[in-house]
Chains A and B, each alone.
Chain A
Amino acid sequence: MSAQIGPQVITSRFGLSESWTLRAYLGSGGYEGLRKALTMAPEDVHKATLDSSILGRGGAGFDAGRKWGMLRKAEPVYLVVNGDESEPATFKDHALIEADPHQLIEGALICAYAIRAARVFIYVRGEMALGLERLQSALNEAYEYGAVGANIFGSGFSVDVVAHPGAGAYICGEETALLESLEGKRGYPRIKPPYYPAAIGLYGAPTVVNNVETLSNLPFVVRNGSEAFHALGEGASRGTKMMALSGHVRRPGNYELTFADVTFRELIYDPALGGGVREDRALKAFIPGGVSAPWFGPQHLDIPLANEKIAEAGSMAGSGAVTVMDETACAVRAAWRISRFFHRESCGQCTPCREGSGWVDKVMRRIEDGNGREADLDLLMDICDNISPGVRWPPAQTTICVLGPSIPSSVASGIRMFKDEFLEHIRLGGCPFPPDRLRASLAHA
């Protein structure tokens, strides 16, 4: 078995020496896309994006061209680049910013030109120290080179780009919380409607919020044409996707793969990709699209990496983070840690999310600790039902943002797929899995 590792749209410079510098960038076709875009009408750049059907790579998978088309007709218009990437096991934007910041800047400028943005804000997770440093020096280089700022490449188009560091809050990845944070406030997601920042965004102005990876595709699209991009992948999933693979595989890392070309089995087992489960143990489960996604088991390995195929099978592609658990992983512990993450990161505005996540965390921990009771399983499902009625997929939402409805996924997956394991914890009065990885952490937490 050998996977088709497709043409590299966004990771083509990853191996180059000092790939983050202007010199390396210009030596490999850098800023050609922007130069070409500036010779086109903004509407035509927008049309090329529509024709290539780039689904947003930040998690929700919304068509980028369509999103730009929804902007309210008013001035100014802002572009906000979402580089908050703070979800456990998601580390693709991080790599794109560190290895190829100019590509992101060029992509952002192409979008800014198409939507006639007055200003671009790149919101970068505060912990990405190296990424921020490289992005800032790339911006300085780009200003000097004439690719950013006034009268870009003599075209008459001007736009400023500002890098803005986050301050440690997962919720700021949610686009309306991110806008609040940019405005200097607590990152509280905004009440919808208005549903889209395209109508009312930053400082009340129409705003496009796009993910780092989404925008990093644009230089390729403009340079090579939308057909070249659209030719990759199938169905609704076009182009390539950065897959962040982690957990119990031999070769964790980022892999750029053509949509629909590769199955989860290939991603995990192909020697050029995941290289198989560590120590040749059996695969127990995997999370196909980040901690909000319902888990998959070995029976799902042959699903291709394409948004709609993963959705049909009852989960989501999300931002492309795949975490593998082998047979030695404790399902209770894994689900508990994810619940704990949501509990800590809940912004606290909505009762089902704030209280529900706390209760799920406490009950899950009690089971893992060996103090659970059989009725806890029903209790957990009941709490989940209060957070997201029906505990179904896609989840029902009663809260301001979708962090709340994401809480039940891992707990419900754990209980549905590994009920016996939960019961065993309760019967044994403890965790049947090797303790070394856990106890100290429990004592400390």
Chain B
Amino acid sequence: MRELGYRPDALIEVLHTAQEAFGYLDAQALAYVGDRLGVPQSKAYGVATFYSYFTLEPEASHSCVVCTGTACYLDGAGALVSAVAGLLAARGQEAAPDRWLSLEEVRCLGPCSMAPVAVVDHEVHGKLTPPGLVSVVESL
């Protein structure tokens, strides 16, 4: 915040930094950031919930994000989701609070020519098959 001069219009950059440091943005973090930048807490919350990059809850230890954008969808993204969901169900870890893996669907990630695409712990994997993705996830 110091670097950015405590300017209210630096809110998004500061939230970026806070999330990178803490993994997620809880009420305390939002209150602190809002206070220091002179932004009402409601606005900090509004911005944090508007952008899908920000999360208000702690994350699982690992993440698997499957793209279900148009190109990936046509190329079998659904089967990828079901394969990982099946794996989670088999491990009984679907909804435990201390989760091992979060499974998410997102719209287009950008590398559509590599469809279907998934991002496992920030690493992009393209031209995936369901067994291929399962083995990536299992090796975590």
Residues of B with C-beta under 8 A to A164:
13
A-B contact pairs, 11 of them (CB 8 A): A88-B70, A89-B71, A125-B110, A164-B13, A167-B54, A182-B9, A246-B112, A333-B73, A337-B73, A441-B78, A441-B105
Beyond A183-B9, A329-B74, 7 extra complex contacts between A and B, CB < 8 Å: A88-B71, A89-B108, A125-B110, A169-B51, A436-B76, A437-B77, A440-B86
Residues of A with C-beta under 8 A to B47:
184-186
Report the count of interface residues on A (CB-CB < 8 A). Answer: 58
Chain A contacts to B: CB under 8 angstroms: 85-91, 94, 125-129, 164-170, 181-187, 244-248, 252-254, 287, 291, 323, 325, 329, 333-334, 337-338, 341, 344-345, 347, 436-445
CB distance from B132 to the nearest CB of A (A): 15
B16 interface contact, C-beta 8 A: yes
CB distance from A320 to the nearest CB of B (A): 12
CB distance from A45 to the nearest CB of B (A): 30
Residues of B with C-beta under 8 A to A338:
70
Q: Judge whether A89 and B81 touch: CB under 8 Å.
A: no
B40 interface contact, C-beta 8 A: no
Residues of A with C-beta under 8 A to B111:
91, 94
B52 interface contact, C-beta 8 A: yes
Q: Judge whether A248 and B74 touch: CB under 8 Å.
A: yes
Residues of B with C-beta under 8 A to A445:
68, 105
Chain B contacts to A: CB under 8 angstroms: 7-13, 15-16, 39, 43, 46-47, 50-54, 68-71, 73-79, 81-83, 85-86, 103, 105, 107-113, 115, 122
Q: Judge whether B12 and A88 touch: CB under 8 Å.
A: no
Instruction: Tell me which of A85, A167, A182, A341 contacts B110 (CB under 8 A).
Output: A85
Q: Judge whether B51 and A337 touch: CB under 8 Å.
A: no
Task: Indicate whether A88 sits within 8 Å of B107 (C-beta atoms), given known contacts A168-B53, A181-B12, A246-B115.
Answer: yes
Task: Indicate whether A247 sits within 8 Å of B70 (C-beta atoms), given known contacts A184-B12, A444-B81.
Answer: yes
Q: Judge whether B115 and A252 touch: CB under 8 Å.
A: yes
CA distance A291 to B74 in the complex (A): 14
Task: Indicate whether A441 sits within 8 Å of B113 (C-beta atoms), given known contacts A88-B69, A185-B47, A323-B74.
Answer: no
Q: Judge whether A254 and B109 touch: CB under 8 Å.
A: no
Task: Indicate whether A344 sits within 8 Å of B51 (C-beta atoms), given known contacts A436-B76, A440-B78.
Answer: no
Instruction: Tell me which of B11, B13, B107 contacts A345 (CB under 8 A).
Output: B107
Residues of B with C-beta under 8 A to A333:
73
